[in-house]
Structure 1
């Protein structure tokens, strides 16, 4: 008879009661060691004896002794319990390892601009945690999370997938960036109608950002934007604008790459919503969830109007505040 046949489908509490009673030679002492009642231990032994078709103990006065059947069962029961306890320790080790390494997927303007800073802040609070940052377009990041290549993904909406939990973080407008001296660079705000005939530096067709920009232009003007130059790299987009080859629409979060350029609010601007995605049915370690909450709070802080102005000043971006924004600022100042 092998160990699997002997121990399959057994209640572990029965096995533990048997082992303790065998070593302590007493049901009452076994009950005390296991913090159970003596009746519960006796019931466990009775269940085992019923399963194996005979007594496991001889009652030798006030002491218990193993029967031949009990002597066969004891070493196998001890090995089984040791294996299960070892497995539990290994599982805890795996979970701890997962907590100590977090795989993050993110789209470009978050991965390149903010994630290193967010991760650095988190690691200073949790120095034992390592990170692997993976970059890709929205569909790439979604697949990373679904294939367990990333624990969490930061993406642009929309995302609809029954395998994922999707949580929106913030919505932000696109801004026009133009070189100094451009006809629109001195404006405090522009409309899409002002931009539609301008040679535009745009993202590639695969980008969800470009699709949203085109759709918003078509709704507002009935026309598509005049994309003259294309790049999937937002830093390259800004480089084309610096070379005075066109203007571009970039999200407010990405303003740092617009150094030496002018950023102008758009009254009917396209917007984008940033979200994070988590696998719906996979284990989520406490450390990973703590990082997600940390990242959510920091992303919100970085997109506040005050933070945007500070970033523009830091990176040499001339930011034209709209008349409405100036009025709001004056009202807030008057209240103080």
Structure 2
């Protein structure tokens, strides 16, 4: 299978529509259809179910999509590594990072690194922990800045810093006048939280379990600013990272949590068995040795 046809298959699998995929790839529909037929012949089975003139990726196609993405990523990585060997101060780093680090930590580290090594470029992706670690495992990202530490043994982990957690409450709330508290003081309060697959939610659940709390979660958000906004609107309280001086919401009050586990480790991960390209290695060394917040 040619690399070009692998790329065509990935686009077709993502769009599940020959016309849309052909337009995106700038090839004719008959050319794409013939390529798909060859692809399925080599695979030995249909990769799509045909439903009302539409394509639906089937279980065989899902397996092929996973490996096609990995193959494309490996070839791109090979090209990047060759380019970097020819010029160690150039090349690109594919970096994934948490939403909650997008407003301060990641931009600041990128600025400082690019001041020192201006020839290295970045392809950036922000998202929740489960998505960015998946991008590393499938070869779509070289490095990820995430929290908490993944359980998967396929990763190499380097801790960058520890982030303290606090309880966000609305102004005028019964807990708003406190400066410090254990999470148990919020017993009986409605909670706003992230969805279960998010790293911060897992830390929150562990804190609640240690305190013997079964929180009444009234809303599951996908980003911390949404949580803060709903807390400000009086929907409930939320466990969030202690805000930076310039990023905290003025509409919520943040009360420090004294629980020993009220923290999350922010760290850098990459796939254990995939060598980092020279620019990715240089950036990872920079982050690990940089002065941390």
Report TM bin, short chain. Answer: 0.5 to 0.7
Name the CA shift for 1:145/1:187 in 2 (closer, same or farther; >3 Å).
same
Within 5 A, what are the aligned runs for 1:262-273? 262-268=253-259, 270-273=262-265
Name the CA shift for 1:289/1:276 in 2 (closer, same or farther; >3 Å).
same
- Match for 1:205 among 196, 215, 240? 196
Instruction: Answer whether contact 2:98 2:127 (CA < 8 A) is retained.
Output: yes
Query: Does residue 285 in structure 1 map to residue 277 in structure 2?
Result: yes
Indicate the residue corresponding to 1:225 in structure 2: 215
- Match for 1:159 among 150, 158, 162? 150
- Match for 2:169 among 155, 173, 178? 178
Within 5 A, what are the aligned runs for 1:19-58? none
Unaligned 5+ runs, structure 1:
1-88, 303-336
Name the CA shift for 1:193/1:164 in 2 (closer, same or farther; >3 Å).
closer
Task: Please provide the CA RMSD for this pair.
Answer: 2.6
SS in 2 for 1:142: helix
Instruction: Answer whether contact 2:161 2:292 (CA < 8 A) is retained.
Output: no
| Superposed displacement of residue 186, structure 1 | 1.0
Q: Distance in 2 between matches of 1:212 and 1:175?
A: 12
- Match for 1:247 among 230, 234, 237? 237
Within 5 A, what are the aligned runs for 1:1-336? 92-93=82-83, 95-96=85-86, 99-220=90-211, 222-252=212-242, 256-268=247-259, 270-298=262-290, 301-302=292-293
Instruction: Answer whether contact 2:158 2:288 (CA < 8 A) is retained.
Output: no
Indicate the residue corresponding to 1:317 in structure 2: none
SS in 1 for 2:122: strand
State how many pairs are aligned. Answer: 212
Instruction: Answer whether contact 2:130 2:197 (CA < 8 A) is retained.
Output: no
| Superposed displacement of residue 203, structure 1 | 0.9
Structure with more helix by fraction: 1
Deviations 1:203-239 (A, max 9, x none): 112212212212221221x221122222111111111
Bigger CA radius of gyration: 1
Name the CA shift for 1:215/1:94 in 2 (closer, same or farther; >3 Å).
closer
Q: TM-score, normalised by structure 1?
A: 0.57
Instruction: Answer whether contact 2:83 2:91 (CA < 8 A) is retained.
Output: no
Deviations 1:116-139 (A, max 9, x none): 221122112222121111122222
Name the CA shift for 1:253/1:159 in 2 (closer, same or farther; >3 Å).
farther
